[in-house]
Chain A
Amino acid sequence: MADQTFRLPDLGEGLTEAQLVAWRVEEGARVDINTPLCEVETAKAVVVIPSPWAGTIQKLHARPGESVAVGEALVTITSAEATEAEATPGTLVGYGPGAPESGIRRKARTAAASVPESGGDTRAAPFVRQLAKEKGVDLAQVMGSGPGGRITRADVEAAASAPVVASATSTAAPSTDGERRISVVGIRKAIARQMVRSVSTIPQFTEFAVFDATNLMAAREQGKASGRSMTPLPYFIAAVVKAVKAYPLMNSSWDESRDEIIVKEAINVGIAVNTSQGLLVPVLRGADQLELTAIAEKSAQLIEGARAGTLPPGQMSGGTITVTNVGASGPVETGTPIINPPECCVVAFGAIKPRPMVVGGQVVARSGAWISISVDHRIVDGALATEFLTALVSELETISA
């Protein structure tokens, strides 16, 4: 025994309602399949509706003269025999009761729309370029906060409010009560936006290690002796590249809109550079393809260019992992770096200096430095981060000249 409710079908190709003219049965009456139930009047005709099931009339849901919308309940019938379709039928549009329409739906709109991949160097939409032109903003100087590093209108407007050459953070407005207000524009604003985006969307954790820099320093001395003087940075970058090759997941990106992790093949190392305008991160592209000396040369060029403000957009974007320096000298050992979105990992190096280490049970003074890595916990768990950091330390400690 099952109660089934018969809903008013669309009786004439697109009708939305019908008026009940008269019932042909009463509540409690027994009906067979096709027993006339009622007469309804549609916009097109007066129509007799026969019963779809055999059973007893449980309830009549409308009164004569009332308007019934297509899909609204007309009559409930208690079926004589058990039926498979226990659920009351869905809205009918001439397709029969049971599963609504075809029972198949297009996926509902996703929370984050997938942004179309733009081919080529479309760093800014036409309107944004036009706006930049009008406001005299050099797009090369603007850090894009849109998807894929795209420059948005807001980025341009922010850049337009402060001249590029002068410090972007300097406009001090005088105020009362012993406080000073600094208007936030240009690069400062863009950095702020990136940092907020990073910490609010990426669940990041940090791990720390100390590496023994004895071999690195020896290699540097050897290099100096043969006329190749290099800062520790190229060695750091080369070691990071080697470690990333062993742990490619550190060189990836979390794609929220598609629930996918995008593992990048090329290793483009962003180098955090402190400039008079603020923090800039030029990108050493294809670091995995470069020899140590090439890394040294190119990274030096990038740092110089960033400080001078002469780098083109292509060298300011496309990074897949970032390295940064926490205190080249002085008492500061390490820090908790913030990931540069949409990357997975940022590696911070502390200053190389003598420090106490235990070697063979004895406390000795050795060259060493702190490394801290911050990692996207959506992509990488602690265990993997530890392995990566361990590998990185290993690379650095086994540098040969």
Chain B
Amino acid sequence: MAKAINLSLRDALTRDENVLIFGEDVGALGGVFRITDGLQKAFGEERVFDTPLAESSIIGVAVGLALRGFRPVPEIQFDGFIYPAFEQIVSHVAKYRNRSGISLPITIRVPFGGNIGAVEHHSESPEAYFAHTAGLKVVTPSTPGDAYALLQTAIDDPDPVIFFEPKARYYLKEEIDPSARVPIGKARVAHEGSGVSVIAYGPTVSIALQAAKTAAAEQISLEVIDLRSLSPLDMDTVMASVRKTHRAVVVHEAPVFCGFGAEVAARISHDGFDLLEAPVARIGGLNVPYPPARYEKLYLPDVDRILQAADAALAYG
């Protein structure tokens, strides 16, 4: 996936001379995950550059550059470091067009999620805060192919987009098609099934697919939906699935309490009340700060927990 994103950025820089990439260590180093490897060398320091260590201003400066006619693609180095920039994102990036009529075509790239054995602040899932903010679009790919295609769409979009990259999947490999495009606001059926709809995004899609594989061996059929886009949220795809299965489980790494899954579950329960043969379940993190690495596998959703929820949904009646 890292290479797919690298290629997508490269192609964006080629197609549009106004695209700028900047952030901490994105230039000479090529990014701490090597996502921007080689880009400064290829496109020069005026297109791809390192900034001082200042997240709030990285985003604030992006606002200014966008006003001046550029298409900024700033990077926030880790999910846990987005918070100094929260003000700029929520108060300005999200609201500028509403205030002034001027669109800010900013795409903010952020690696997110855990499961890499990291220290504090490197495994967060803050997507709900941003999906909750009108004026922003929030997306997250789960495959290299979608990473390439969704990023192209995000950069082209005149509205600001937060592009969450599941860092635990950076080394996931697959053949990609650079001509493919994934629209924002469209989920995909990652695996067809008929028994329970398992709705996931970002790093939990792989786990849901593993669960579907295990379930199949027990003659249980799970359908896996990869949301891809949190805001806007594609409820059509979700409801089509629930119409088929009548049972749903939502899975994310972020804590269940007030997590993004609550929005999905509420929508399903409301819009699809008469479709349900079991209550909608949510699987996710505990309501505690992300734990030290030795405990993260106990905190994060895994195949067993997804299957347990699917079992309960199927046994309900």
Q: Contacts of A93 on B, CB cut-off 8 Å?
A: 116-117, 293
Q: Which of A83-139 contact B (CB under 8 A)?
A: 93-95, 101-102, 104-106, 108-110, 112-116, 124-130
- Pairwise interchain contact A14-B273, C-beta atoms closer than 8 A: no
How far is the CB of B96 from the nearest CB of chain A, in Å?
A: 35
Determine whether the beta carbon of B277 is less than 8 Å from that of A127.
yes
Once the chains bind, are A127 and B276 in contact (CB under 8 Å)?
Answer: yes
Q: What residues of chain B lie closer than 8 Å to A110, measured between beta carbons?
A: 308
Residues on the A chain within 8 Å of B279, using CB: 116
Chain A residues with Cβ under 8 A from B34's Cβ? Answer: 43-44
| Cβ-defined contact, A144 with B277, below 8 A | no
The residues in B between 109 and 138 inclusive whose CB is less than 8 angstroms from any CB of A are 115-118, 122
- Assess the B311–A113 pair: CB atoms within 8 A: yes
The reply to whether A115 and B171 contact each other, CB–CB distance below 8 Å, is no
Q: Is B305 an interface residue (CB 8 A)?
A: yes
Chain A: minimal CB distance from B77 (Å): 12
Interface residue? A153 (CB, 8 A): yes
List the B side residues contacting A15 at CB < 8 Å: 171
Q: Is B2 an interface residue (CB 8 A)?
A: yes
Given A15-B171, A94-B117, A151-B317, decide whether A101 and B304 contact each other with a Cβ distance below 8 A: no
List the B side residues contacting A148 at CB < 8 Å. 317
Bound complex: CA A16 to CA B169 (Å): 10
B294 contacts A125, C-beta separation under 8 Å: no
Q: Which of A14, A113, A126, A146 has a CB less than 8 Å from the CB of B116?
A: A14
B315 touching A43 by the CB < 8 A rule?
no
Q: Would you call B5 an interface residue if the criterion is a C-beta within 8 Å of the partner chain's C-beta atoms? A: no
Q: Do A43 and B171 touch (CB < 8 A)?
A: yes
Cβ A129 vs Cβ B312 within 8 A: no
Across the interface, which residues of B come within 8 angstroms of A152, CB to CB? Answer: 277, 317
Given A13-B116, A124-B317, A150-B316, A95 contacting B274 (CB threshold 8 A): no
> Counting CB contacts under 8 A, is B252 at the interface?
no
Across-interface contacts of B118 in A (CB, < 8 A):
13-14
Dominant SS at the A interface?
loop
The answer to whether B117 and A10 touch across the interface, beta carbons within 8 angstroms, is yes
B275 A126 Cβ-Cβ under 8 A? yes
B170 within 8 A of A: yes
Task: Report B286-317 residues with CB < 8 Å from chain A CB.
Answer: 293-295, 297-298, 302, 304-305, 307-308, 311-312, 314-317
**Cβ contact within 8 Å between B317 and A147:** yes
Query: Does B235 reach chain A (CB closer than 8 Å)?
Result: no
A260 CB to closest chain B CB (Å) equals: 17
Q: Known interface pairs A13-B122, A15-B171. Does A127 touch B274 (Cβ–Cβ under 8 Å)?
A: yes
Q: How far is the CB of A43 from chain B (nearest CB, A)?
A: 6
A109 engages B311 (CB within 8 Å): yes
Give the size category of B's interface with A.
35 or more
Residues of B within 8 A of A14 (CB): 115-118, 167-168, 170-171
Q: A94-B293, A126-B274, A127-B246 are in contact. Are A108 and B315 (CB under 8 A)?
A: no
**B308 in contact with A43 (CB, 8 Å):** no
| Residues from chain B with Cβ under 8 Å of A116 in the complex | 279, 312, 316
Task: Say yes or no for B207: interface residue by CB 8 A criterion.
Answer: no
Those of B2-51 within 8 Å (CB) of chain A: 2, 32-34
Q: How far is the CB of B166 from chain A (nearest CB, A)?
A: 10
User: Closest residue of chain B to A148, judged by CB?
Assistant: B317
**B317 contacts A101, CB within 8 Å?**
no
Q: Which residues on A sit within 8 Å (CB–CB) of B311?
A: 109, 112-113
* Alpha-carbon gap, A203 to B294, bound state (A): 45
- The distance in angstroms between the C-alpha atoms of A129 and B277, with both chains bound, is 10
Residues of B contacting A112 with CB < 8 Å? Answer: 311, 315
Complex-state Cα separation, A44 to B30, whole angstroms: 10
Instruction: Give the shortest distance, in Å, between A60 (CB) and chain B (any CB).
Output: 25
Partner of B294, one of A13, A95, A128, A151: A95
The residues of A that contact B246 with a CB separation of less than 8 Å are 127, 153
Give the residue of A113, A128, A130 whose beta carbon is less than 8 angstroms from that of B317. A128
Contact B171–A125 (Cβ < 8 Å): no
CB distance from A277 to the nearest CB of B (A): 23
Residues of A within 8 A of B293 (CB): 93-95
Report the Cα distance A129→B276, complex, angstroms. 10
- Residue among A10, A102, A127 with max Cβ neighbours from chain B (10 Å): A127
> B85 an interface residue at 8 Å Cβ cutoff?
no
Known A-B contacts A102-B295, A115-B315, A150-B316; A95 and B117 likewise in contact (beta carbons under 8 Å): yes
Is there an interface contact between B312 and A126, defined as CB atoms closer than 8 Å? no
Interface presence of B278 (CB below 8 A): yes
CA distance A284 to B304 in the complex (A): 42
Assembly CA distance A108 to B33 (angstroms): 34
Residues of B242-257 contacting chain A, CB below 8 A: 246
Q: What is the chain B residue whose CB lies nearest that of A108? A: B304
Residue from B307, B314, B315, B317 with most neighbouring chain A CB atoms (10 Å): B317
Q: Which residues of A contact B274 (CB under 8 A)?
A: 126-127, 129-130
Least CB separation from A125: chain B residue:
B277
Please name the residue on chain B nearest to A123 by beta carbon: B317
CB distance from A356 to the nearest CB of B (A): 51
User: Looking across the interface, which residue of chain B has its beta carbon closest to that of A133?
Assistant: B274
Chain B residues contacting A115 (CB-CB under 8 Å) are 312, 315-317
Tell me the minimal C-beta distance from A94 to chain B in angstroms.
5
B283 to nearest A CB, angstroms?
12
Instruction: State how many angstroms separate the Cβ of A238 from the closest Cβ of chain B.
Output: 35
A-B residue pairs in contact (CB < 8 Å), sample of 26: A10-B117, A13-B122, A14-B118, A14-B168, A14-B171, A43-B171, A44-B32, A94-B117, A95-B117, A101-B297, A102-B295, A109-B304, A109-B308, A110-B308, A112-B315, A113-B312, A115-B316, A115-B317, A116-B312, A116-B316, A125-B316, A127-B277, A128-B277, A146-B316, A147-B317, A151-B317
Q: Which residues in B have some Cβ–Cβ distance to A below 8 Å?
A: 2, 32-34, 115-118, 122, 167-168, 170-171, 246, 273-279, 293-295, 297-298, 302, 304-305, 307-308, 311-312, 314-317
Contacts A44-B33, A125-B277, A147-B316 known; 14 new A-B pairs at CB < 8 A: A13-B122, A14-B116, A14-B167, A14-B171, A17-B171, A94-B117, A95-B117, A102-B294, A108-B304, A109-B305, A116-B279, A124-B317, A126-B276, A150-B316
